[in-house]
Chain A
Amino acid sequence: MKVAFTVNGAPREAEVEPRRTLADMLREECGLTGTHLGCEHGVCGACTVLLDGAPVRACLMFGVQAEGAAIRTVEGLAAPDGTLNALQRAFQAHHGLQCGFCTPGFLMLATWLLERPDKLDEDTMRHVLSSNICRCTGYQGILASVRAAAQELGRWAG
């Protein structure tokens, strides 16, 4: 089936089997391999992307369900010249990653947190980020990174 959508602002079309997941479509048809697959059953969150502004597990959606949607992936975060955005810089400064495999999912989830109308507080941050699994960091670096980015962007409550 033919699907039309935008990824990181650019219009895309893809010809996909109806059973192909959004994650596989992004990785294989669009070449956007920054979206990683950690479990393919919706638990780990490594494949989290933003679809029309909301975080989704790209392994739990079919590609054809993205018809007409605006998708954002990790590849859309940095500037075209590679300059990291505030959230990415905070992850580097606060050791929010080690192997980096879960990182794109955490970055997209945190991007959503930082763009919500409400300012971010500690409990909300921990609650939402508990959606995803990281095996390397023990999470403290991830939480510190998101907290620091929120502070820098004026999105931290308190």
Chain B
Amino acid sequence: MTGWVGRSLPRIEDPALLRGEAAFTADLAIGARAVRFLRSPVAAGRIAALRPPPDMPPGALFVTAADLPEAGPIRPMLHRFDYRAVEQPVLPRERVHFAGQPVAALVAPTAEMAEDLLDEAVFEVEAEEAVVDLDAALRPGAPLVHAVAPGNVAVEGALRQPGVEAAFAQAHRVVEFAFRSGRQNATPMETRGGLAAFDRATGRVRLTASCQMPHALRSGIAEVLGMPEADLQVVAPHVGGGFGQKMALFPEYPVLVWLARRHRGSFAWIEDRNENLTASAHSRDQRHALRAAFDAEGRLLALEAEILANVGAFSTWPVTCGVEPLMAFAEYPGPYKVPAYAARARGVLTNTCTMAPYRGVSRPVITFGIERLMDRAAAALGMDRIAIRRRNLVDSFPYRTATGMTLDEASYVEALDAAAALADIPGFRARQQAARADGRLLGLGVSVFNERTGYGTPAFAARGMGIVPGYEVVDIAMTPTGEVEARIGASPHGQGLATALSQIIADRLGMQPGQVRIVAGDTDRTPYGWGTFASRSAVIGGGACQLAADRLAERLRAAAAKVLQTTPAQVTLRDGQAFGANDASLPLAELARLAHWRSDLFEGFSLAETAAYDPGGTFSNACHVAEVEVDPETGGVRILRYLVVEDAGRIINPMIADGQVRGGIAQGIANALFEEVVYAADGTCLTGTLADYVVPSCAEVPEIELHHMETISPATVTGAKGLGEGGAIGAPAAICNAVSDALAHLGVDVAEFPATPPRIRALVRAAEASIEARP
């Protein structure tokens, strides 16, 4: 071991990106025939006419469902929770289900020409009544988005533990909280896009795509098109962010692959920002109602949650439309001891863009719910807000939750206490009072949460998923010149995974990280694996790398023992050399050369190994504290201070870990205060540009103070826990608690986020009106 793990090693990914030499999908697509999609302008309707432009120039193509008779639907499965198997046609024949749904593809030599031609295509649709929001979809007699889902409910989970009624009956206080979470778009800086290139020599297609799960995408496309999977290669080159949005099998990709096969050429679709904002995938459009029973000491006796998630028009492949409602259902209690739990979660279909997982999935929503509930309970019980949390946090491990998950070692109470101390709450209260005297409104908010990370197949299987992701496989080998190549199924898209994994491997083999090459994002060159999502790659990919490297180390020790005339147990690997018993040593490069070229000395020796890793999962945790100033005249919120105490177990590369937390918080701030996808009543998406969908800049995102705890997880081989999502999870609750605190004297309580200036103004106006109306 040479201690690379734990160091803020500069990222090996950076130089090519900084020189502008790293290739993203669009960079590779130049010269391919351009594909643009004709998209439905209406949210619901019957297709009356669909015809190509009257004057199609040579080389132009117009592709509709009629051209793809062999293409099956995209139909993800869930074998539980009353799941209705909604299916999405690659291109629709009869009806459209949301504004933005691709209806036809138009191919031309350039994207400009394709867009010109699209204007001339004939698409007539008899518009039907669209159901856009939860109320409209659940109204008795509402039009059905899909006949297969009566009442527009696609998935439903319900649980009522014994003891819930009794707990409410004996409660000292029942606290309720109903709220709404606005719809968000993950908004990676690079939009989706794909280049499908036919290789005439082999008959294979290479799909280069901006995606997070290349192997699964390959499987999904092969299934939909009924083609041999071996005839398709999927490559994820440099990917400009994903955050969950790029996990799904979108209909555009099978169309590209079909075009390449049918027309024996190269076809590229590069999504524009309008398509990304309206027709890729959305998230977090939910409404929850909570009831909680507390005893006189502030002990939570029971929690009841009613969860409604607008899942859009279709079910996202492979995770299904159950992903958001069922995560809220399973994980609502979070880090708290909840002796009795009842919940009902429904995924509701509407004529809007389909939902997909987005950083944290439902956790930002449930954390908002339970953390706002804690503040309300503290007020109702006259308790301190930190004290009520401390009283209820899980403090002995392992802890089995109401929904059967096992919480491993964590630092829920310790992180809360540390954050509260760092925040200097008494000092803040004094400043708050002083500011109030000057007419300035300051507020402080806290959120505590845990984050389920690094979970393998058991967790996904428990959800009843038809396709069960979870494991990762790593193929590792040493080249004759002594570098190590690790081929991984995980597929990074900005996380710096290659750097982090090279640190793990270098430690196990006594090498420099620079001697390690990570091969990722190519189904031809990597073993089948699930990709990068759900805060899993450092834990599961990292665990598999560690196991594979240990096996390779055994082989190296055995080979070195032969050369050094000692036993493998006597051999240590360090500083790029194998050392024997009496300090005799051999450079690993020399050993590698011998192993490959003089294998006769080693009885057919090889320096290749494979390892798989499939852990049960672990829980990171954190406490966020936000200090804000609210301008009651404009409704604007300024974040004055943002503090995090984070525990993600063993940190592999602190710089990268901090970057994940900070980036997550920026997206959580966006979720708390700025970003919202808005639909008109007829199902037209009103936020189709970045001028309408407000992504915060560095003027809105403050410096973030980060403090780490390291509770080494016994649940993972590296001791590391994932942390990719936590920042996004904790921020909406902390900020909205702070906003509510700033406005508490008016009786304002934030129950809808993002807490945009118009919403805060409306709350302030209503509060002032009700104060004036008092006798």
Binding site for B on A (CB under 8 A): 17, 19-20, 27-28, 31-41, 43-44, 46, 73-75, 77-78, 82, 84, 88, 91-93, 95, 97-104, 107, 126-127, 129-143
Contacts and interface: CB of A to CB of B under 8 A. Distances in A.
Contacts of A126: 698-699
Contacts of B10: 92-93
A36 B270 CA distance: 12
Interface of B: 10-11, 13-15, 17-24, 26-27, 30, 112, 187-191, 238-241, 243, 272-273, 493-496, 655-656, 658-659, 662-667, 689-691, 695, 697-701, 703-704, 727
A143 B698 CA distance: 8
A99 B240 contact: yes
A74 B19 contact: yes
Contact of B189 (A34, A78, A133): A133
Contact of A129 (B112, B191, B272, B698): B698
Contact of A99 (B272, B494, B727): B494
B377 to A, nearest CB: 31
A88 B14 CA distance: 9
Given A44-B189, A136-B241, A84 B19 contact: yes
A97 B14 contact: yes
A130 B697 contact: yes
B703 A140 contact: yes
Contacts of A107: 18
A133 B239 contact: no
A133 B695 contact: yes
B690 A39 contact: yes
Contacts, number: 175
A100 B494 contact: yes
Contacts of B697: 129-133, 139
Contacts of B663: 98, 135-138
A136 B19 contact: no
B698 A142 contact: yes
Contact of B19 (A37, A44, A88): A88
Q: Helix, strand, loop or mixed for chain A's interface?
A: loop
- Which of A35, A73, A99, A134 has the largest count of B CB atoms less than 10 A from its CB? A99
B18 A141 contact: no
- Shortest beta-carbon contacts, A-B, top 6: A34-B20, A99-B494, A101-B240, A100-B17, A138-B662, A74-B20
Contacts of A73: 20
A106 to B, nearest CB: 10
Nearest to B27: A33
Given A34-B20, A99-B241, A138 B690 contact: no
B698 A135 contact: no
Specify which of B689, B698, B700 lies most central, judged by the most chain A CB atoms within 10 Å of its CB. B698
B279 to A, nearest CB: 15
A101 B24 contact: yes
Nearest to A140: B662
B21 A95 contact: no
B36 to A, nearest CB: 13
A29 B231 CA distance: 33
Nearest to B700: A130
A129 B697 CA distance: 8
Contacts of B23: 33
A139 to B, nearest CB: 4
A130 B698 contact: yes
Given A138-B701, A140-B703, A78 B658 contact: no
B699 A127 contact: yes
A44 B690 CA distance: 8
A38 B14 contact: no
B54 to A, nearest CB: 22
Nearest to A19: B112
A142 B699 CA distance: 13
A153 B413 CA distance: 46
B190 A141 contact: no
Contact of B689 (A39, A84, A102, A142): A39
Given A43-B690, A143-B698, A101 B189 contact: yes
Contact of A139 (B22, B189, B664, B701): B701
Contacts of B13: 100
Contacts of B112: 17, 19-20
Among A27, A39, A104, A133, chain B packs the most CB atoms within 10 A around the CB of A39
A33 B698 contact: no
A41 B662 contact: no
